[in-house]
């Protein structure tokens, strides 16, 4: 008999979504209640997930669903990130007429899909989770129906994502055809001899996954979707799907296809180099902050993939550390964007930061810390994230990848420092209205402080991640 206790997080989230739907239908003007209750649901889900804490791997549904320390940790990261995202964007959602009953329910549905993706040990289960995540994100991207940019971004994301899903499904069918199974464990057993059909299947699946994490050359949707979507949705795109998709990268490549490491390593290195270089160069000419952060995220995903390409436990652990620090930096950056408000209008252009330090010194200081960290300047958290990746890469004598990463970091530092120059040396503009919620300010202060003092004890995150053993 299946022990449903180990999927209690997913069950709780599913029942909560159904409950909120009923509340929304039968109770008028319940938008604020549903949004606030969704935040509570995420915290309760986090508590349930932490309480699972399996001492050994648990296989459910004929080994198609896996619960272990790694999946439990990543699910906790997703739930915490989702809670922080919803909390910091509350004022923005209220003031931009986004607070509908569907909005938080769509976010919860997308998160449920991510949790399924993380624990999937079967191609079919993985695809179900992926589509549950994606379908909700299609709607969220186009949530402001009266805004032409939001509608355009939703349509672009839908069309390109459908294309990537088709390629991914074709790859899954090739793998099934040549290995006679969709289960990761059985694929590993049936793939002792290297079949070219399986290699083609792996490449097609990687194309679909690369689309989800905006890796070059499958990044084309990101700048337009990031820019056109409401900022509260952009922060979701910038963080949550990337955590889930990178976890699937690890489970997919280091599970059934570990013996084919030499075949797929070159693909990951290509995605990594392309993302690091293109993301760093393309962001230089951007005039909108959301487009700039889109190219920045492309570059950062290149560094995360570099850790996966080395084929060691240390590389995987360092990629996860990089991802956690990346999400802290991005949440902090978007908190600053949510602060840039004047007369109920939000601003997201580079020129809107002009002279910010003269009117809002504390906000400018926080933003400077975040930007220096994103650039990888020591001794901030972003420096340690890249240092760990470079360490893992150099230990495997992959010097070319390390040199490309270093050059990309130098190039990317230009546009981060340019924003600081705009804030501190350009002519000042009219003051912004910073009377925001306590939750937003607390998240910004805490995340900025973590970035600033991370060097005092870098092992805070390492201690959680060091227990992960994939290989």
Question: Is the Cβ–Cβ distance between 332 and 366 less than 8 Å?
Answer: yes
* 445 lies in some domain: yes
User: Would the CA dihedral through 112, 63, 187, 180 be positive or negative?
Assistant: negative
* 84 lies in some domain: yes
Q: What is the average per-residue pLDDT within 346-357?
A: 84
* 471 lies in some domain: no
For residue 198, give its domain range. Answer: 4-465
**Is the model's pLDDT at 83 over the cut of 90?**
yes
* 183 lies in some domain: yes
**Is the model's pLDDT at 456 over the cut of 60?**
yes
**Is the model's pLDDT at 42 over the cut of 80?**
yes
**Is the model's pLDDT at 436 over the cut of 80?**
no
Question: How does residue 61 score in pLDDT terms, banded at 50, 70 and 90?
Answer: confident
**Is the model's pLDDT at 170 over the cut of 70?**
yes
Q: What is the pLDDT of residue 275?
A: 92
Residues 302-316 have pLDDT tens digits of 999 999 999 888 989
- The overall average pLDDT reported for the chain is 88
* 431 lies in some domain: yes
Apex CA 357: angle with CA 356 and CA 360, to 5°? Answer: 80
Of 46 and 343, the one with more pLDDT: 46
Q: What is the pLDDT of residue 339?
A: 87
**Is the model's pLDDT at 378 over the cut of 80?**
yes
Question: Is the Cβ–Cβ distance between 20 and 108 less than 8 Å?
Answer: yes
**Is the model's pLDDT at 1 over the cut of 60?**
no
Question: Is the Cβ–Cβ distance between 105 and 38 less than 8 Å?
Answer: yes
**Is the model's pLDDT at 300 over the cut of 60?**
yes
Beta bridge partners of 58: 67
Q: How far apart are CA 333 and CA 331, in angstroms?
A: 5
Q: What is the average per-residue pLDDT within 290-297?
A: 91
* 17 lies in some domain: yes
* 206 lies in some domain: yes
Question: How does residue 347 score in pLDDT terms, banded at 50, 70 and 90?
Answer: confident
Q: What is the pLDDT of residue 405?
A: 92
pTM of the model: 0.94
Q: What is the pLDDT of residue 47?
A: 93
Q: What is the pLDDT of residue 53?
A: 76
The 8-class DSSP code of residue 96 comes to T
Q: What is the pLDDT of residue 278?
A: 92
Task: Please report, rounded to a whole number, the percentage of residues in the chain having pLDDT higher than 70.
Answer: 98
**Is the model's pLDDT at 435 over the cut of 70?**
no
Instruction: For residue 240, give both structure tokens.
Output: 């949550």
* 470 lies in some domain: no
**Is the model's pLDDT at 333 over the cut of 60?**
yes
Please give the tally of structural domains in the chain.
Answer: 1
Instruction: For residue 101, give both structure tokens.
Output: 């009953």
How many CB atoms neighbour CB 345 within 10 A?
10
Question: Is the Cβ–Cβ distance between 68 and 251 less than 8 Å?
Answer: no
Q: What is the pLDDT of residue 16?
A: 94
Q: What is the average per-residue pLDDT within 359-381?
A: 90
According to the per-residue pLDDT averaged within each range, which of 45-54, 105-114, 159-168, 282-291 is highest? 105-114
Q: What is the pLDDT of residue 2?
A: 60
Question: Is the Cβ–Cβ distance between 203 and 287 less than 8 Å?
Answer: no
Residues 6 or more apart in contact with residue 30 via CB below 8 angstroms: 23, 24, 101
Q: What is the pLDDT of residue 328?
A: 92
Q: What is the pLDDT of residue 173?
A: 92
């Amino acid at each position: 008999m299946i022990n449903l206790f180990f999927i209690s997080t997913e069950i709780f989230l599913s029942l909560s979504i159904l409950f909120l739907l009923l509340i929304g239908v039968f109770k008028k003007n319940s938008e604020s209640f549903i949004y606030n209750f969704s935040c509570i649901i995420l915290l309760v889900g986090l508590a349930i997930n932490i309480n699972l804490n399996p001492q050994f791997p648990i296989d459910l549904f004929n080994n198609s669903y896996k619960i272990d320390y790694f999946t439990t940790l990543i699910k906790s990261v997703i739930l915490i990130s989702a809670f922080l995202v919803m909390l910091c964007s509350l004022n923005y959602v209220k003031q931009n007429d986004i607070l509908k009953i569907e909005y938080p329910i769509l976010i919860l549905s997308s998160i449920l899909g991510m949790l399924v993706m993380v624990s999937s040990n079967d191609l079919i289960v993985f695809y179900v989770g992926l589509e549950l995540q994606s379908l909700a994100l299609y709607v969220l991207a186009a949530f402001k129906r009266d805004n032409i940019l939001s509608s355009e971004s939703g349509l672009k994301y839908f069309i390109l994502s459908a294309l990537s899903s088709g390629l991914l499904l074709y790859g899954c069918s090739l793998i099934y055809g040549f290995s006679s199974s969709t289960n990761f464990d059985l694929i590993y057993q049936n793939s002792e001899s290297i079949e070219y059909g399986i290699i083609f299947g792996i490449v097609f699946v990687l194309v679909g996954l690369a689309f989800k994490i905006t890796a070059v050359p499958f990044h084309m949707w990101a700048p337009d979707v990031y820019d056109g979507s409401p900022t509260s949705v952009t922060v979701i795109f910038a963080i949550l799907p990337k955590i889930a998709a990178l976890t699937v990268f690890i489970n997919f490549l280091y599970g059934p296809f570990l013996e084919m490491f030499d075949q797929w390593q070159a693909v990951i290195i290509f995605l990594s180099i392309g993302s690091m270089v293109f993301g760093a160069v393309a962001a230089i000419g951007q005039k909108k902050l959301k487009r700039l952060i889109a190219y920045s995220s492309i570059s950062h995903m290149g560094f995360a993939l570099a850790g996966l390409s080395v084929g060691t436990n240390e590389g995987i652990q360092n990629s996860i550390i990089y991802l956690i620090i990346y999400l802290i930096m991005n949440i902090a950056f978007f908190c600053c964007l949510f602060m840039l408000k004047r007369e109920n209008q939000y601003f997201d252009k580079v020129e809107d930061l002009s002279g910010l330090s003269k009117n809002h010194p504390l906000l400018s200081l926080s933003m400077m810390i975040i930007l220096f960290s994103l650039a990888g300047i020591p001794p901030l958290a972003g420096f340690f994230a890249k240092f760990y990746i470079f360490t893992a890469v150099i230990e495997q004598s992959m010097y070319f990848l390390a040199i490309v990463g270093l050059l990309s970091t130098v190039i990317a530092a230009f546009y981060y420092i340019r924003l600081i120059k705009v804030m501190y040396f350009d002519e000042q503009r009219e003051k912004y209205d910073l009377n925001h919620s306590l939750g937003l300010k607390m998240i910004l202060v805490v995340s900025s402080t973590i970035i600033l003092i991370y060097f005092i004890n870098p092992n805070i995150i390492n201690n959680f991640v060091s227990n992960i053993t994939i290989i």
